[in-house]
Amino acid sequence: MQSVREDAPWCPDNIEFIRRINGLDTRQDVYDVVFNASYVVLGLGDVYLGAPVATPLDPRHRLVTTKYNPARIWTPENAVGIGGAYMCIYGMEGPGGYQFVGRTVQMRNRYNTAASFKSGKPWLLRFFDQIRYYPVSTEELEGLRHDFPQGRYNPKIEEGSFSLSDYEAFLKANESSITEFKTKQQASFDEERARWDAA
């Protein structure tokens, strides 16, 4: 707000903007969606250094936003943001445009000392990995971010499999509620855009 664009519709509160543009009732609904979603990694290096770009498997968890315009001049390391229908974790400080929903542990370890970095690469995730979030206090996050690169903390990692036929069956079984969510979401998005035009 101080250095780029104080009148942007996502200022001063990204969570309120995400709530409004997705047609959710409360700020807690935004957090509930983020914490209930299972984000599947579709790309790496979206905004530097193996940063994952991911989207939720369940379409009812696909929050949509616009990106900052113009972009922020600074984004903290390992900020979690949503842009369009995608979630990204920023691997380093820099500019950016995704709407913030939180922060997390490092996605990159240049020293490759943590056991979680099994691929032998300095980035944590691989294509088709799934990411789940849970809330922690500021103090706990600071401790995790301090310990993780040094190998004193390892996030919970589970092996799994993905069945396309099971996923298609899930989509079919939940088709009506998915359509209901997407319809309300699109209407809210259109209302938000109309407010911008009016302003």
Band of pLDDT at residue 97, cut at 50, 70 and 90: very high
Rounded Cα distance between 114 and 178, Å, is 39
Per-residue confidence (pLDDT) for residue 119, from 0 to 100: 65
Rounded Cα distance between 95 and 77, Å, is 10
Task: Tell me the average pLDDT of the chain.
Answer: 92
Q: Judging by beta carbons within 10 Å of its beta carbon (0-12, 13-18, 19+), is residue 86 exposed, middle or buried?
A: buried
Look up the CATH architecture of domain 14-198: Beta Barrel (2.40)
Q: What mean pLDDT is predicted for residues 109-117?
A: 72
Q: Is it the case that residue 118 has pLDDT exceeding 90? A: no
- Of the ranges 46-60, 81-95, 166-180, which one carries the lowest mean pLDDT score? 46-60
